[in-house]
Amino acid sequence: MSDFENVLIDRVGTDDRVGRITLNRPEKMNALSQELLFELNDALHDLEADDSCRVIIVRGGGRTFSAGYDLTPASGKGADAVVRRHKAVDDKGRRLLMGIRTGMQAITNIHMYFWNMAKITIAQVHGYAIAGGCELAMMADLVVAAEDAQLGHPGLRGLGTSRTGVIWPLVIGMRKAKELYYTGENVTGEEAEEIGMINYSWPKDELEERTIAFADRIAVMSADHLSILKLNMNRFYENMGIYSSVHSSTDLDAAGQFTGFSYDWQDKNRELGMRDAVRWRDGLFRDNDWYKYKDRKAPRK
């Protein structure tokens, strides 16, 4: 098995039949850099080829699952480096749509491999699974989370689309999916379970133990039989258009870098820096009357 720096692999469960991948950039809240994405892809391939591994858990090391794509890497090798391998900017500094789109599709291909690989996968979420972290978690077969975890895609607020977020209508229904998509709002693990976004939410201090038990229960069957069951389930959603929808959403994610609101965000990012630009952006969504009513329940008739 390969040696990695940005992910860790170990085995848990009865007879070590459950493989576990830990995203290992805790100092960066497991932000998805180019290296982490490529190593995750390789680690998944390694475990897929191992017949003694029947189920794979993906989790984050440290205090969070993943805070999303690494947009401010000191090394210049964040997730955007995958995009920059293609000609995304011309000699005058103007952004090029198709270069950005091609690079984004390379990241989407990793997500879709995670979706389609011949092993049952479980995302174990604590802390934050937001933006790219949420995109990754949603491609697992099953998702469990700490009750106080935060899941969502704030990048919808001016940073394009959520590529794998187009599966939300299948998972949680059209109305709630549109609400989360149009607002970029997060939900807690407990709320995510209530709306069907995840399978279970558990107390944080029980999450690891319960996740292993959940995986081990599934892993009583052989790897090849589980693969057939997964193929049977996934084929239904593929016939409904999940592949074309996710890749189309990736195209629109690239196009979304060229809207008026996205330009405003990019200007603020250059002017203020990432942290203050995020505060500016999120303040636009908080500075209204919605939060006065958000937690109120409508009276029963």
Q: pLDDT tens for residues 15-70? A: 999 999 999 999 999 999 999 999 999 999 999 999 999 999 999 999 999 999 99
SS (H, E, C) the chain: CCCCCCEEEEEECHHHCEEEEEECCHHHCCCEEHHHHHHHHHHHHHHHCCCCCCEEEEEECCCCCECCECCCCCCCCEHHHHHHCCCCECCCCCECHHHHHHHHHHHHHHHHHHHHCCCEEEEEECCEEECHHHHHHHCCCEEEEECCCEEECHHHCCCCCCCHHHHHHHHHCHHHHHHHHHHCCCEEHHHHHHCCCCCEEECHHHHHHHHHHHHHHHCCCCHHHHHHHHHHHHHHHHHCCHHHHHHHHHHHHHHHHHCHHHHHHHHHHHHHCHHHHHHHHHHHHHCCCHHHHCCCCCCCC
Dihedrals phi, psi of 178, to nearest 5 degrees:
-65, -40
Judged against a pLDDT cut of 50, whether residue 239 lies above it is answered with yes
Judged against a pLDDT cut of 50, whether residue 132 lies above it is answered with yes
pLDDT digits (tens, 9 = 90+) for 64-120: 999 999 976 555 555 555 555 666 777 777 778 888 898 899 999 999 999 999 999
Note the pTM of the prediction, 2 decimals: 0.91
Question: Which of 73-77, 178-182, 279-283 shows the lowest per-residue confidence on average (mean pLDDT)?
Answer: 73-77
For residues 126-136, give the mean pLDDT.
97
For position 298, what pLDDT does the model report? 52
* Percentage, residues of the chain above pLDDT 90: 73
Please state, in angstroms and rounded to a whole number, the distance separating the CA atoms of residues 239 and 237: 5
Question: Which of 80-84, 127-131, 186-190, 191-195 shows the lowest per-residue confidence on average (mean pLDDT)?
Answer: 80-84
In terms of CATH architecture, what is 7-259? Alpha-Beta Complex (3.90)
Question: Which of 37-41, 156-160, 234-238, 268-272 shows the lowest per-residue confidence on average (mean pLDDT)?
Answer: 156-160
Q: How confident is the model at residue 287 (pLDDT cuts 50, 70, 90)?
A: confident
For residues 153-172, give the mean pLDDT.
90
For position 297, what pLDDT does the model report? 58
For residues 129-146, give the mean pLDDT.
97
Contacts of 113 (CB under 8 A, 6+ apart): 41, 44
Whole-Å CA distances, 15 to 53, 176, 216: 10, 41, 10
- Mean pLDDT across the chain: 91
Q: Which residue has the higher pLDDT, 247 or 301?
A: 247
For position 301, what pLDDT does the model report? 46
Question: Which of 87-96, 119-128, 262-271 shows the lowest per-residue confidence on average (mean pLDDT)?
Answer: 87-96
Judged against a pLDDT cut of 60, whether residue 300 lies above it is answered with no
**Residues 241-247: contacts with CB within 8 Å, 24+ apart?**
242/115, 242/167, 242/170, 243/112, 245/166, 245/167, 246/108, 246/111, 246/112, 246/163, 246/164, 246/166, 246/167, 247/105, 247/108
Q: Which residue has the higher pLDDT, 88 or 226?
A: 226
Q: How confident is the model at residue 289 (pLDDT cuts 50, 70, 90)?
A: confident
The domain locations on the chain are: 7-259
